[in-house]
Amino acid sequence: MARAFVSPARVLLLDEPGASLDDESDQRLIEQLKKLRRNRTIIMVSHRPSHIRLADKAVMMDKGSMLFVADADKTVAHMLESN
């Protein structure tokens, strides 16, 4: 995350950024991502609804195929219904 703040990159690619975080650390990560998204494009892979809800658009995929595309809340609802 430190690199994301100091880097001039306009696009950030994150793969499961909260995978090994406890709940408190995950909340801090979410707050930092909210700050970064003001002036960056963030493309993130995540299974966590709390991360998906940060998105403008979310894509649900399975084995490389798109299953569902919508705003974040609809995608999370669809994801929870599918489980």
Structural domain boundaries, residue 74: 2-82
Q: Is the whole-model pTM more than 0.85?
A: no
Length of the chain (residues): 83
What are 19-75's pLDDT values in tens digits? Answer: 889 999 999 999 999 988 888 899 999 989 999 999 999 999 999 999 999 999 999
Question: What's the domain count of the chain?
Answer: 1
The amino acid sitting at 73 is D
CATH of the domain at 29: 3.40.50.300
Q: What is the pLDDT of residue 23?
A: 92
Residues 14 and 37: beta-carbon distance below 8 Å: no
**pLDDT of 83 above 80:** no
In the chain the first and final C-alpha atoms are separated, in Å, by: 31
Q: What is the pLDDT of residue 46?
A: 93
Cα–Cα–Cα angle for 66, 72, 76, nearest 5°? 75
Phi and psi of 21, rounded to 5°? -95, 145
The amino acid sitting at 15 is D
